[in-house]
């Protein structure tokens, strides 16, 4: 029995065979060249992520390093102040300080009548009055937003008058032998204090407690430099990653515009039905 005869006797066989032919077609049931139920996609670009973990950790390290530097500075200052307090209370420094104060008192006592005489002179009075007037005008100009040129001119004149007053005092003091002798002793006493202080400063490096605190500070500062360098490196890497991310994202957006995705036909029909 041939196929035609079988089809006449069994019409459902023809229907089954026709369905198999249609559904097995590579072009789909409607033979339109593609399956309309499949969604076409835009070309994709690999968009790298941006990880900020390293930067956040580097910032924490820098903050911790800064705290360590501050603590080390405070520790060194505490040690230095303690040692300086002990030094100032030492017999040598106590005697040098007392000697300087005595010499300064003698100088001030000898200088007073000389300065009183200078201050009573006409030249000094004129310079003092001019200086006072300049200062009063300057205060008024600054309070009322005066011109910069006027303020500058008055300030320069005030400095000139003050310099004249100082020179007149110096000339009067230098001309008096008693004042000059008292000044010499005061300078000698001051030089002795400076010498003792220089010796103290030099001795600090020999003190074990101070040296330990100084080393801790140096190490803390070095750690801060290292942490800061690591943070700069992390920031640079994150910036580069962000730039690559932005470039890839822009490229993907461009591709999406050039090759828009096509939704499946049944979805279009459904959307149309929903709109209706």
Name, in order, each residue with C-beta under 8 angstroms of 80's C-beta and a sequence gap of 6 or more: 204, 210
Q: For residue 76, how far is the Cα from the chain centroid?
A: 24
CA angle 172, 175, 181 (to 5 degrees): 115
> Quick one: pLDDT at residue 30?
45
Average confidence (pLDDT) over 51-57: 95
Q: Which of 111, 90, 123 is nearest to 178 (CA)?
A: 111
What pLDDT is attached to residue 45? 79
Question: In which band, very low, low, confident or very high, does the pLDDT at 238 lie, cut at 50, 70 and 90?
Answer: very high
Which tokens hold the place of 211? 């040296």
Q: What pLDDT, in 10s, does the model give residues 187-232?
A: 999 999 999 999 999 999 999 999 999 999 999 999 999 999 999 9
Higher pLDDT pick, 25 / 200 = 200
pLDDT at 140 over 90: yes
Q: What is the pTM of this model?
A: 0.63
pLDDT value at position 259? Answer: 84
Residue 235 has pLDDT above 70, yes or no: yes
pLDDT at site 9: 52
> Per residue, what are the HEC states of the chain?
CCHHHHHHHCHHHHHHHHHHHHHCCCCCCCCCCCCCCCCECCCCCCCCCCCCHHHHHHHHHHHHHHHHHHHHHHHHHHHHHHHHHHHHCCHHHHHHHHHHHHHHHHHHHHHHHHHHHHHCCHHHHHHHHHHHHHHHHHHHHHHCCCCHHHHHHHHHHHHHHHHHHHHHHHHHHHCCHHHHHHHHHHHHHHHHHHHHHHHHHHHHHHCHHHHHHHHHHHHHHHHHHHHHHHHHHHHHHHHHHHHHHHHHHHHHHHHHHHCCCECCHHHHHHHHHHHC
pLDDT tens digits, one per residue of 55-68: 999 999 999 999 99
pLDDT in tens, 154-188: 999 999 999 999 999 999 999 999 999 999 999 99
Least confident of 84-93, 134-143, 252-261: 252-261
What pLDDT, on the 0 to 100 scale, is given for residue 270? Answer: 57
Dist CA 164 CA 152 (whole Å): 19
Question: What is the residue whose two structure tokens read 């499946």?
Answer: 264
């Amino acid at each position: 029995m041939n196929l035609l005869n079988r089809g006449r006797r069994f019409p459902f066989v023809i229907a089954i065979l026709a369905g198999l032919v249609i559904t097995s077609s590579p072009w789909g049931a409607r033979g339109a060249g593609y399956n309309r139920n499949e969604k076409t996609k835009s070309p994709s670009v690999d968009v790298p992520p941006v990880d900020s973990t390293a930067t956040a950790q580097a910032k924490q390290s820098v903050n911790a390093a800064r705290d360590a530097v501050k603590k080390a500075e405070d520790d060194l200052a505490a040690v230095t102040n303690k040692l300086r307090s002990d030094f100032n209370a030492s017999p040598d420094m106590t005697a040098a300080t007392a000697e300087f104060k005595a010499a300064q008192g003698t100088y001030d006592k000898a200088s007073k009548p000389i300065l009183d005489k200078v201050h009573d002179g006409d030249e000094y009075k004129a310079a003092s009055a001019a200086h006072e007037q300049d200062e009063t005008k300057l205060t008024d100009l600054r309070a009322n937003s005066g011109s910069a040129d006027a303020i500058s001119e008055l300030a320069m004149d005030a400095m000139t008058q003050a310099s004249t007053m100082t020179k007149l005092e110096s000339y009067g003091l230098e001309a008096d032998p008693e004042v000059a002798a008292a000044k010499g002793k005061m300078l000698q006493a001051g030089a002795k204090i400076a010498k003792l202080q220089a010796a103290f400063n030099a001795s600090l490096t020999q003190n074990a407690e101070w040296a330990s605190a100084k080393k801790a500070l140096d190490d803390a500062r070095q750690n801060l430099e290292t942490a800061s360098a690591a943070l700069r490196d992390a920031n640079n890497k994150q910036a580069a990653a962000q730039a690559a991310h932005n470039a890839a994202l822009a490229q993907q957006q461009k591709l999406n515009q050039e090759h828009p995705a096509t939704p499946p036909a049944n979805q279009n029909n459904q959307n149309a039905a929903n709109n209706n």
